[in-house]
Structures are given as structure tokens and as C-alpha cells.
């Protein structure tokens, strides 16, 4: 009973934070980052950190229960928005092929020759072993 009371008190104290984080994430899903103002973007980071802290406290106090699962889902959703990985563009791939790759080959030209020699000699040996 005491644990249940503690959990209800914990939820009552922190629920506004979680709901605000969820509201901003919902807006972000619909509108994207361009429509959020600077205050909301800063708030998103703070709410995320507070919710991560709440998740740690909830796991410590109440174990892996429905509250922890719910908070974990919210934290995972926010993490996906905050730490979004930029997808490589085709132009970046072309730049790498035209300048980055040749520079790497030049930098490791000795190893490239050694690996080419090993490959060629293995191919020749295999060809000579055929009847």
C-alpha cells in the first residue's frame, strides 16, 4: 500500500513534465522542427533530461512496472527525435568517390599494391592448379 501511495505521489508530481514532453513530440511528428520555436526546442531537451532522470528513479523505486515501461517508451521516442542521424545525400557519396576515395588509396598505396599482388598471385596459382 505504501509503495502504491509513493508511486501515485511520484506520478502526480512529474506527470505534467511527461505530458508536456509528449505534447512537444506530437507537434514535432506533425509539423517538424521548422515549426517549433526556440523555446520549445530548448524545452524539449530539458524535458527529455528530466524524464530520463524520472525513469531512473522509477526503476529504482518501483522496478520494471507499467510506469517504467511507459517512461521508457517516452524517453526512447524523445531520443529518436533529439539524436536524429542525418541521412547521407547522393552528392556526398559522389564527392567521396571523386576526392575522398582516391585520397585514401594514395595514402595507403603500399598496402593497395601488396593486396593487389596477393590477389593476383592467388588467382594465378589457382589457374595453374587447374588440370
Distance CA 87, CA 89 (A): 6
Domain ranges of the chain: 2-82, 90-129
At residue 75's C-alpha, the angle toward residues 73 and 78, to 5°, is 110
Alpha helices (H) in the chain, listed in sequence order = 2-31, 38-62, 66-82, 90-95, 101-107, 109-129
* Mean per-residue pLDDT, 71-85: 90
| pLDDT for the residue 1 | 57
User: What percent of the chain lies above the pLDDT cut of 90?
Assistant: 62
Which is more confident, 36 or 14? 14
Distance of alpha carbon 126 from its chain centroid, rounded? 46
The three grid cell numbers given for residue 8, joined into one nine-digit string? 501515485
Phi-psi region of 36 (alpha: psi -120 to 50; beta: other; left: phi over 0): beta
Amino acid at each position: 500500500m505504501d509503495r502504491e501511495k509513493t508511486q501515485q505521489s511520484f506520478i502526480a508530481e512529474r506527470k505534467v513534465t511527461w505530458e508536456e514532453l509528449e505534447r512537444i513530440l506530437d507537434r514535432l511528428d506533425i509539423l517538424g522542427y521548422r515549426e517549433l520555436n526556440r523555446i520549445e526546442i530548448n524545452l524539449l531537451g530539458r524535458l527529455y533530461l528530466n524524464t530520463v532522470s524520472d525513469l531512473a528513479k522509477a526503476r529504482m523505486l518501483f522496478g520494471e512496472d507499467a510506469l517504467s515501461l511507459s517512461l521508457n517508451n517516452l524517453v526512447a521516442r524523445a531520443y529518436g527525435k533529439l539524436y536524429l542521424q542525418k541521412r547521407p545525400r547522393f552528392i556526398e557519396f559522389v564527392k567521396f568517390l571523386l576526392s575522398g576515395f582516391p585520397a585514401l588509396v594514395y595514402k595507403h598505396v603500399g598496402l593497395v599494391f601488396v593486396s593487389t599482388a596477393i590477389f593476383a598471385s592467388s588467382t594465378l596459382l589457382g589457374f595453374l592448379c587447374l588440370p
